[in-house]
Copies of this chain bind each other. A is one copy, B any other.
Amino acid sequence: MSRQALPIDLSLYLVLDPDLCGGSAGMVATAQQAAASGVTVVQLRAPNWKKRQWLETATALKAALALLNVPLIINDHVDIALAIDADGVHVGQQDMPADEVRRLLGPNKIVGLSTNSLVQFNEAELMYQAGIIDYVGVGPVYPTGTKKDASPVLASDEVNGMMQNRCLPAVAIGGIQAGKVASLIAQGLNGVAVVSAICGKADVTVATHGLLAEIHAARGNTQ
């Protein structure tokens, strides 16, 4: 496959949580405010929803985010992504295999893959070089309460091992709160994915600006 990976700014990647945001309307409001405040990617994730609610919420999110030029990534469900012409799909190790996702979505969409070990990360690097995926999630980097079937927390030297000699863009995920961002950026991650650091916060804009400031400061320090 001669496909080149699509450019994607992983700096601050918001994963929406139905419970923390207070349902569909709260998720759209959170996403809109966070995107207007500088979040660079938004993912819709709702493992317990029926597809009717998925479709309705994804449609509303796409309309809100397209105005702000922030890509919308659909967790797991390729059919929802196809139905609303989303910007991409993110899958885990137990979801549809990434090569099948790529085949269904075609070359002009973003495909992301969760990796929870160095072995999975190295497999993902080959998929990146083959044009199958565009980025990986790496985690959990901290204990998380928002993903019930999360893998064990990665050791810091495992993450360091992943960041050596790799081409594929990587976003850290899992329990990332304000104050925990700088070390991940310093380790070489291209960005951080957050859930509860934005979802359910009293002031989403303040929370988003705080995280962005940490990212920018950490990048300044490493340059």
Known: A55-B97, A94-B50, A94-B51. A104 touches B76 (CB 8 A): no
Residue of B52, B91, B97 touching A94 (CB-CB under 8 A):
B52
Q: Does chain B have a CB within 8 A of A45?
A: no
Q: Does chain B have a CB within 8 A of A8?
A: no
Q: Does chain B have a CB within 8 A of A100?
A: yes
Oligomer copy total? 2
Q: Does chain B have a CB within 8 A of A217?
A: no
Within residues 145 to 192 of chain A, which ones have a CB less than 8 A from any CB in chain B? none
Q: Does chain B have a CB within 8 A of A79?
A: yes
Within residues 76 to 101 of chain A, which ones have a CB less than 8 A from any CB in chain B? 76-80, 82-83, 91-97, 100
Classify chain A: how many residues form its interface, as a range: 20 to 34
Interface SS of chain A: helix
User: Which of the listed residues A54, A55, A92, A100 has the most CB atoms from chain B within 10 Å of its own CB?
Assistant: A100
Chain B contacts for A104, CB-based, 8 A = 79, 82-83
Q: Which residue of B lies closest to A80 (CB)?
A: B96
In the bound assembly, the distance between CA atoms of A52 and B99 in angstroms comes to: 12
Task: Return A14 CB to nearest CB of chain B, in Å.
Answer: 23
User: Which of the listed residues A82, A96, A103 has the most CB atoms from chain B within 10 Å of its own CB?
Assistant: A96
Residues A83 and B96 in contact, CB atoms below 8 Å apart: yes
